[in-house]
Chains A and B, each alone.
Chain A
């Protein structure tokens, strides 16, 4: 009898512990305006409230299948959610095709600008692969950094990506239904943008100013831009090489109509798009 009772108690304790573990795993980990000053690995569901910063010298690793949600707060009342993840150290966010990492709104009815951005700044060799960015002001901003941005989906953001002085590879990503696909002020950036699929963005490329020909943009499929495929900012005075991309048509005049540059405003630089591809690139977008 005693042994039966002991076995029951043990079973109950074990069951209770298992239950606790299960509930602990299910509960999201919450960071509220955190300053993360050591290496961390994230998995499961993460909730980021306000500005959260990974300190210089620290590495944030995010495992496949992790979901990062940004609850709505708007302390500065600008109608853009304050949720933000800034990495001043290094980020290794490597999802898989079956288990992508998701950065998204925590709102029941999510919409564009529900959160601010994921930002990589002064980082070396950061990796962002098989991630999904949606409902942000900017899905991903990269400044003063090196790294790889590959096989990601940027959808329903105000800006898919934004970058400034960077040396990153942006390839095999899907940019879908953002107001701006990629916005940049690239200076001498040697960023390469290739084999990406752009579809349904308001303005697919928006070089605001000071983007030079050191940026390489080729072998992309650029389709169905709602306003312009390329829209030079008022201070974009330099020419930019857009040759060897597929614009959804093989008609040069139709492509030119998609581009706002020197051809429409003599004070702007020129988007060189000739030669252009006569058919879609086959291995564009997420692999």
Chain B
């Protein structure tokens, strides 16, 4: 059933040439800075900014040393930074603060504002902070945004001497079972180690409770390791969360309740974006024009629903190479609806390459987990006018 703008609406992206944040482009041997991609719920996120701070204290004070330009259609960003060690965060602030000085980029150009988060904003603290910018390269940093869904709420507690912290850990809007919330008093250990206190693993409702807490501020970090262990470095597939409104003031005689969204950890610094990581389940083929010639730079996409509309595709490829070859990394087996287009975001435009897999009338393929499905060629045409 397709009551949709069938081919419409969803979106596809074009990786635009990366641009230096500001000022003149540095010489290759002096490249220093960061680059990466911002996603939210496994979809690329346009319009966020990456904020670079000299210290965690500066981060808490919303005093960045540099701010990126808004992320592009494909969620990508890139910025120059002198060599050094920094704290990085990505944000999308719905409203620029009414007051306060603009944050300045490394050229001194006004590039964006920083300020406290409001409910509805998006935020990601990079779990690998602090991160070092090394001369001669752009260090890759990925971000997965979490929406600031609700501010901390307080209710009366029967324990007048201590504070209580409770809440729900969620991932992609669903309760996350088995997550451990750790409280830190400060950033001294970069939020690693045992911290001040840790909750038992959350139940299937994602809820946690921590009682008998002194009245003070805490930094909340949530982790879930797939191997079930309570310590050790996070790996692919584990979950991580830095509470968006850290620090949380736990008050004596009150129950502080938080809505704690976390992300799935998908790659360390310098590794591939989560969108393009090798899952072992691939759909691959060539993108071809009406004469069978390869079309370079077009992106393949996969939907899990036949209705290819109203939302972004579940999976996207990197741009097809000069032979028109694309590779779609799929998280698991199933039925997927396959197409390709030039850009990511918005309704396709005149002159844009667009097409769907034609091995089936509804453009679907079936794939099993771990399978590599080859020969899924996608014919494309330019949208006529």
Interface residues of chain A, those whose CB is within 8 Å of chain B, are 33-35, 51-53, 55-56, 74-76, 78, 80, 82, 84, 86, 88, 116-117, 119, 121-124, 137-138, 141, 143-146, 162, 164-165, 167, 185, 187-188, 190, 210
Contact = CB atoms under 8 A, between A and B. Distances in A.
A167 B385 contact: yes
Given A55-B361, A56-B379, A144-B348, A121 B6 contact: yes
**What is the interface of chain A mostly: helix, strand, loop, or mixed?**
loop
A88 B7 CA distance: 11
Interface string B332-363: 00000000000000111110001110101110
Contacts of B348: 144, 164-165
Given A122-B384, A165-B347, A185-B5, 17 more contacts: A52-B361, A56-B358, A56-B379, A75-B1, A80-B1, A84-B1, A117-B3, A119-B6, A122-B7, A137-B3, A143-B5, A143-B8, A144-B354, A164-B9, A167-B350, A185-B8, A185-B347
A187 B381 CA distance: 19
A75 B2 CA distance: 12
A119 B354 CA distance: 16
Contacts of A88: 356
A15 B375 CA distance: 54
A47 B233 CA distance: 61
A230 B227 CA distance: 57
Contacts of B5: 141, 143, 162, 164, 185
A123 B383 CA distance: 9
Contact of A35 (B1, B354, B361, B383): B361
A119 B9 CA distance: 15
A122 B349 contact: no
Contacts of A76: 1
A119 B8 contact: no
Interface of B: 1-3, 5-9, 306, 346-350, 354-356, 358, 360-362, 379, 381, 383-385
Given A76-B1, A121-B7, A137-B3, A165 B383 contact: yes
B1 A53 contact: no
A225 to B, nearest CB: 22
Contacts of B349: 165, 187-188
15 contacts: A34-B361, A55-B358, A56-B358, A74-B1, A80-B1, A86-B2, A117-B2, A117-B3, A122-B354, A122-B384, A144-B348, A145-B384, A162-B5, A165-B347, A190-B385
Most buried by B among A88, A116, A141, A164: A164
